[in-house]
C-alpha cells in the first residue's frame, strides 16, 4: 500500500519530545528515559497509536514504547499524545529489524503485534513480523518471562505465525483463538485497535495468539 506523504511530518517527528531521535544511545538504559524502573512494553507497527495510548491510560506503572516506520503514520499518534500528556509513552520511528541494536537483552517485558502487514507474497515472508527472523530478534531483547501478543484478521498470516512458532526451538504457543471476541478468557480486558474495530464491525473474526519461551 502506498502511504500518503504528509508535508511537515518529518519535522514534527524530529522535534517532538516524545519521539526518541537516537535510540541506539539508550540501549540497556531505557528506564532512564522514563525516570523509573517500571516494565517496558513495546508495540511494533503502532499505526495511529490508539491501542498504545489506551493501554498507557489504564496502566500508568508500565512504560510503553510505540514503534512505527513511517512519519506520516506516526504523526497522528504524536499529535494525540501531545494532547493527552502521558508520561509513560515514547515513540520510535525506526525499522523493527534494528530492535537488537536498540534494546539490551531482557530489557523488554512484552511485545505487541497488531494487524501487521501480511506481506502476502512468499518471497516476502521473512519481512512478516512473526517470521523466524523476527522471532529471533525478539528473543534477543525480551525478558525471560516476557511474551509476544499477536492479533490479526488475516487467517493466512495467523496460520503462518502458528507454524513459525511451532517450528521454533525457542518459542512455544501459550494460547490461540480464531475468534477473539467470542473467547471469554482472551477477550477479557481486550483493548481494540482502530483496525480491530473496523474489521470486527464488518463481521471479520479476529485471531489472537500469545507466545512465550
What grid cell was written down for 194? 482502530
What residue ranges define each of the domains in the chain, with the CATH number in brackets? 33-212 (3.40.50.150)
Please tell me the predicted confidence (pLDDT) of residue 59.
97
Residues of the chain with pLDDT under 70: 1-5, 83
Please tell me the predicted confidence (pLDDT) of residue 150.
98
DSSP 3-state assignment of 113?
strand
Please tell me the predicted confidence (pLDDT) of residue 177.
98
pLDDT 10s digits, 35-84: 999 999 999 999 889 999 999 999 999 999 999 998 888 988 888 777 67
CA-nearest of 130, 166, 168, 167 to 149 is: 130
Which residues does residue 44 pair with via DSSP β-bridges, in sequence order?
67, 113
Please tell me the predicted confidence (pLDDT) of residue 1.
43
pTM over 0.85: yes
Please tell me the predicted confidence (pLDDT) of residue 4.
57
Catalytic residues: 117
Strands 40-44 and 108-114: parallel
Please tell me the predicted confidence (pLDDT) of residue 9.
80
Measure the CA–CA gap between 128 and 162, rounded to whole angstroms.
13
Residue bearing cell 495510548: 53
Amino acid at each position: 500500500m502506498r502511504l500518503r506523504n504528509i508535508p511537515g511530518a518529518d519535522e514534527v517527528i524530529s522535534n517532538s519530545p516524545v519521539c526518541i531521535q537516537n535510540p541506539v544511545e539508550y540501549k540497556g538504559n531505557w528506564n532512564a528515559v522514563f525516570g523509573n524502573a517500571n516494565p517496558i512494553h513495546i508495540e511494533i507497527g503502532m499505526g495511529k497509536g490508539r491501542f498504545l495510548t489506551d493501554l498507557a491510560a489504564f496502566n500508568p506503572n508500565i512504560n510503553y514504547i510505540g514503534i512505527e516506520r513511517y512519519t506520516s503514520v506516526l504523526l497522528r499518534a504524536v499529535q494525540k499524545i501531545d494532547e493527552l500528556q502521558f508520561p509513560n509513552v515514547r515513540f520510535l520511528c525506526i525499522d523493527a529489524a534494528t530492535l537488537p541494536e536498540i534494546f539490551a537483552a531482557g530489557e523488554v517485558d512484552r511485545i505487541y503485534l497488531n494487524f501487521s502487514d501480511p506481506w502476502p507474497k512468499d518471497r516476502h515472508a521473512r519481512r512478516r513480523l512473526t517470521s523466524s527472523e523476527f522471532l529471533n530478534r525478539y528473543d534477543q531483547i525480551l525478558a525471560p518471562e516476557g511474551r509476544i501478543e499477536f492479533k490479526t484478521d488475516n487467517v493466512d498470516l495467523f496460520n503462518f505465525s502458528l507454524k513459525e512458532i511451532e517450528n521454533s526451538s525457542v518459542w512455544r504457543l501459550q494460547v490461540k483463538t480464531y475468534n477473539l471476541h467470542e473467547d471469554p478468557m482472551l477477550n477479557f480486558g481486550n483493548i481494540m485497535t482502530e483496525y480491530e474495530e473496523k474489521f470486527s464491525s464488518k463481521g471479520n473474526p479476529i485471531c489472537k495468539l500469545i507466545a512465550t519461551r
